[in-house]
Structure 1
Amino acid sequence: MITFDHVTKRYGATLALDDVSFEVPASSITGFLGPNGAGKTTAMRILLGHTRSSGRATIDGQQYAGISNPAGTVGALLDAQAVHPGRTGAETLAIAAAMIGVHRRRIGEVLDLAGLSVAESRRTVKGYSLGMRQRLGIAQALLGAPRALVLDEPANGLDPQGIRAIRDLLRAVADDGCAVLLSSHLLHEVAQLADRVVIIGRGRILDDTPVDHSTTQDLESRYFALTSTDDRSAA
């Protein structure tokens, strides 16, 4: 389970997160929605120990710094561009596997899960499209078979076929017991994938509700109504 418990973060005079609290249960997918600058990435960085805050952000009851086996507990993709461009995809995964103590056979498994072919994995990352980099980042996040996944815009740069493949992968991972938190601006995809949606605006949680998979209209209407009201109140 992923838990945010009264998390507040300031950058000088800017209140980036304002008393944020919500949960992502095991075996579920939570879509984290909000406009640019709403606080989504800041919240994820706090959860992963990259940024300090007041309040607590935990995975299975522990803050990231106290987790003895981080790679087996949480996998993350925050920036698909943060990969050495001169290495191949396979080399990138081999280095990551060695660092976390995972057998090299896991590399082939995660490449298959993420939809990267062996031939693609032998190419240098500088020749990858954004979608291929996203797939590589997802493969790396899965290396340790984590109990939680934190993904920032995982469908960015993917074509419709790739989006569907990642959607099927995340559903399977969640059904196997993983807690999945993903940010996205693709409301249609979130409506088809997520079990719950948390909407954030200007650092505040505006809504936390189950998703009706039968239609995206209610989700879209609620999202735009909440974020538009939040913008007006902050003006």
Structure 2
Amino acid sequence: MKIRAFYTRNGDLKFISHLNTIDLLQRGVFSTDKKIAFTKGFNPRPKMSFGNPLPLGVSSDLEVFDVEIIDEIEISEFIKKMNEYLPEEIQIIKAYNADTSPSISKIIEYSIYEFTIYSEIKLENVNLDFEELMISRERKSKKGSPREFIRENIGPNVKLISSFDKMEDGKYRIVAQLENSVDKIINPVNFILGLFSKYNMNISIDDVDIHKKDMK
């Protein structure tokens, strides 16, 4: 039985790594006391697959993983036992039997992020244009090789949903849809830094809260 589960990652746990998140969820699955399917080979691991890693420091309303369980278990019981084990910052919000569903990589095309910006600079009148949005990202290289950065235009992979809404507390909010597919993954940190660079905004990434709202 393959279960697809959706979970949150909030609070201080937005600062734990993807690998630590995987470890925590694996221990949560073991806490259900059901027999889990394992991979074969010299180093067998639980048969679990995950969505693309969430950047460190980014919170989320919706992350996803699949797990193969040999024993039968009611979905409601799975959610209950997982949440009893997991901390309140990471909780299962829904799950279903995914035996006939395509893989996670085939169901997700983009993610929607909300950026809350603490800035004394007036941003509400900035006219955003994403036809060209250049970012700097690290190129994947062999282990031990020098780090190399490349410039890339991510404009075609971005859709603006709302632009610099000023909130009652004086903060600004922008909501954007970023591609998160097999072909292209847009890092939300790179996106907002590219935006600040394009419009010469002297704003630090430390003054931005990034929260993933949805994925589709």
TM-score normalised by the chain length of structure 1: 0.24
- Structure ID, larger Rg: 2
**The structure with more strand, counted as a fraction of residues:** 2
How high is the TM-score relative to the length of structure 2? 0.25
| Bigger helix fraction | 1
